[in-house]
Structure formats: C-alpha cells, structure tokens
Structure 1
C-alpha cells in the first residue's frame, strides 16, 4: 500500500510540474481523493507540525473597544498563564495602540491592523509604517478580507503594502481566503494562489511573513471550516510555497487559520499538522477565551 501511494503521489507531482497555476485545483482534488498519509512520528516533547516555525496566535481586535474595556482585556491577558512555545500578537485599533503597548506584558507583541503603501505624507486618514514602528508595533495585518471586499483593496495594492512594511522592518500577517461563491464554484485554490502570487510578486523574502488563511464565508458568521477543510487548504498553500520557492520556505513560513476560531474548536483545529496557529477575531476580545486558544498548542504535543 505504501509503495502504491508513493507511486500515485509521484505521478501527480509529475503532472503538476507540467501545468500552470490554474491546474493545481484538480491536482489537489485528485491527491485528496486517492491518498491517505500516515501520521507523522515526532520525537517525544516536540510539537507535531509540518512546518518548522513556532506556533503563532494573533488577536485582531478590529474596530472594537474603549479605553476601559481594553484596559480590562489587557489586565486579563497579563494575568493569564500562557504556554511558552507560542508567539502571541494582538492588533488593537490604531487609537489604542499606545495604551495597549504601554500596559501589556512583553510576552505579547503588538500588531497594526493596516498600514499605508509607502512613506507617510499627505494621505489623510492613513497610518504609516514609520508611525507604527514609533509606537512599538512589530507586525501589521495586510490583505484582510474586510480590507479587500469592503474597502476595495486589490491584490497588487496589498502586495505593495507588504513589500514596504517588510522593507521597513515590520513583520506581515498576510491574509488570503475565498468567498462562499468561490468555494462553491470550486475555486478555493485558484483564489488563494492568486492572492499568494500577488504577495510573492512584490516581496523579496518570506522570512518575516505569516500567512493567514481566512475563508471569508466563516469570518464573523459563527460558521467554521472543519479541521479537514482547513488542513486541505493549508497543505495546498505549503505545497505552493515549495513548488514556487523552496522546501525551506515552505517549512519555515507559518500558515495560520482564521475564521470564527474560539475556545471550543481551537484544539481540534490545532491538531492538524499544517495549521501553525490562528488569527482570532471576536474571541480575542475575551481574555480567558483567547488564552485558551493560545494554549491549544498543547493539542499538537504528542509522545512517540
């Protein structure tokens, strides 16, 4: 059986290497339906992940909070017991970044929710990367579906934003994901790969990029992709990185899941080997629940 699976996989890869990006969807459908991979057997005490990066959990607070409510949230997070082997980032609204940065534990880094495409200047209402760095931000979220589908940012513009943020030393949480009608039309991989390519065309390195797969049809809806649905896309994204860049890039780049992640589903999602963490919306506004999601990294820890 193992030999048969290996042969099938090799033939699929040979087919894929001869095809353009648009053919990758049928490839992954075929692989998914014909192959069953055995579980990995990591050494005792390590985290079972397909990639080599550290588990990463971000909290996107969006346009929520007041000085008082965020003070309470920060207090809850400061007093929470968090697993040590997780990178934790929170993204407050712009007007509260300074307050949060000056009061939150050093254990948690600060991200912005957006940034301007170049150096600051006469751009009313925008926030520059230089200003974010001045406030102590280490990360910025770019390409979120709400920026794409409500504000109207396109792939090329988002890619240029990412390139500038990286050039100035900010890490980028690069969001990708499909609409419901795109999933129903079988275009999930096509959409995600197109959005990835826009980042790839603009940036010179993936070293400081975390990819956040957020299917638009689950964001804020209460729906959530099954662990299997999420894993399928995460594995496809990692394979895309391997094909278009290198095995090293595919291994080092963290691919996190977002979309109605909460304390009830995070552990099952975290068990999937290609899910390297989460980008959390509403649940990140509740300190104890966000801590539970952060600590879901323990679901990956297995003894061999």
Structure 2
C-alpha cells in the first residue's frame, strides 16, 4: 500500500530565520499517518534535519549531482545529502530542466544516484503551456517517464511528481479531470514498464499552484497520492492546512 506524501519545495528561499517555520510545522505534526517532507535550500539542510528529528516531518534535497564525488564545483552528491540528513531528493524539476538545460538522461542519472545512496528520488515531469495547447501533454509525459525514471525503480525508492510547467507559481491549475488523465496515464506507463505491483506502489504527486483552498479537491482525484508544493510550503500555517487535507483525503 503506497503512502501519501505532502512534499514542500522551498526552492531558492530561506535563510536561518526560515527555520522557525519548520519548527512550527514539526510542532503541528509530531506524528502523522502520511509522509511529510520539506526540501529546504542546501545551506539549511543539516540544521533542518536536526529540527525535525523524532517528528513525522523529514527533509530532502532539491537536486543532486549524478557523480559520487570529484571535480564538480558547487554541486552536491546524493551521499552528501544523506550525510546532511536527507531522506529524499527532487530531480528533474522543470526549473532545472529549463534553467540548466537538464535532459532526461541527466535526470535519470541523478535519480539513479539518489537510489544508490539509499534515498527516494522524486522525479518531476510536466508539459509547457504550448505543449498543452497543442495536445502534446501525454506524449511529453511518456517521453519524460521513459527517459527520466531509472530501471531499478520501486515503490520504495521512486516518487513521480506531475507538475505542469504553466501552472507552477501562476495560480493556474488544470481541471481535476485533466489532472486525473495525466496521473492515470503515468500509472499505466509504470504498469507497462514495471508491472502492476510496482506501479501501484509508487506515489504520484501533483504540483503546480497547490494551495490551502484547492488542496482538498486535488487530493480527491484518483491516483493523486499527495502534492509537491512550492510557495505554500514556506509558511507552516499554509502548509499545515495542505497536510491536514491530505491526511483526511
């Protein structure tokens, strides 16, 4: 049985003062029936891990280098994330694909590195507005799943997050039926490649302007097992509402 996951991506936001929000979130959820994850900037990761220790909240990285070590100035390996206290890492976010030119092959290598280090890889997929408007969404998703998801994926080491690029930070959200179409499609792709047992064990997250006021509706969609949340995860008060909505979904 796959577990629900509420994941927060702080992106390039947060200095030491922001850790008070994480402290508040941890106080709100000393225990929970779902998984709760915050991915802060790398500069806060070690301290964040200490704050959430012995609570239901865990922490993860926002990216990792595929290599284990070496001459990669500014990069962070999956092993380094583990050492800092991470239990997961986001790979293939559209902002990495677009801002840094990351291709599916790079994303797959990073996901493999994360799995090899013993942490979950949250592999992000999603289409642009142009691709949506030209009815290429499912083709894009199929290409990204095929190219970005490693062969050694299981329900224990993989999470897939569907984030339509045009919905991230814009306030625009696909219709519930559009969300269901993509999530059902992803589940089918995983079934065809890995078999039903594995496919049914991989959590599928929706991301893209998830907020306290729309979370309940989104979580009611079949095959939506949680959310990858951006801006609304920066405040414990907002993210707590989303977490509670997922707990009762």
RMSD between aligned alpha carbons?
1.4
Match of 2:240 among 276, 291, 295: 291
- Residue 73 in 1 paired to residue 21 in 2? yes
- Residue 166 in 1 paired to residue 84 in 2? no
Partners in 1 of 2:57 and 2:183 — Cα distance? 25
- 1:60 corresponding residue in structure 2: 9
- 2:49 corresponding residue in structure 1: 101
Instruction: Give the TM-score normalised by structure 1.
Output: 0.78
Q: 1:78 and 1:168, CA in 2 relative to 1: closer, same or farther beyond 3 A? A: closer
Partners in 1 of 2:132 and 2:243 — Cα distance? 28
- 1:193 corresponding residue in structure 2: 142
Give a deviation string over 1:105-150, Cα, whole Å, max 9, x none.
5311111000001111111110111211111111000000000011
Match of 1:115 among 38, 52, 64: 64
- 1:276 corresponding residue in structure 2: 225
Give a deviation string over 1:243-264, Cα, whole Å, max 9, x none.
2221112210110100000100
Q: Is the 8 A contact 1:158 1:199 kept in 2?
A: yes
Q: CA deviation at 1:194?
A: 0.5
- 1:261 corresponding residue in structure 2: 210
Partners in 2 of 1:134 and 1:96 — Cα distance? 13
Match of 1:204 among 152, 164, 175: 152
Q: CA deviation at 1:203?
A: 3.0
Give a deviation string over 1:234-285, Cα, whole Å, max 9, x none.
0111111112221112210110100000100000000112100000000000
Partners in 2 of 1:283 and 1:57 — Cα distance? 11
SS at match of 2:232: helix
Q: 1:168 and 1:298, CA in 2 relative to 1: closer, same or farther beyond 3 A? A: closer
Q: 1:81 and 1:140, CA in 2 relative to 1: closer, same or farther beyond 3 A? A: closer
Match of 1:141 among 86, 90, 94: 90
SS at match of 1:59: strand
Unpaired stretches in structure 2, ≥5 consecutive residues: none
Q: CA deviation at 1:104?
A: 2.3
Between structure 1 and structure 2, the one with the greater Rg is 1
Q: CA deviation at 1:151?
A: 1.1
Instruction: Give the TM-score normalised by structure 2.
Output: 0.95
- 2:162 corresponding residue in structure 1: 213
Q: Is the 8 A contact 1:270 1:299 kept in 2?
A: no
- 1:88 corresponding residue in structure 2: 36
Q: CA deviation at 1:164?
A: 1.5
Q: CA deviation at 1:199?
A: 2.7
**Length, aligned pairs only:** 247
Match of 2:81 among 132, 135, 139: 132
Q: CA deviation at 1:83?
A: 7.1
- 1:235 corresponding residue in structure 2: 184
Q: 1:122 and 1:238, CA in 2 relative to 1: closer, same or farther beyond 3 A? A: same
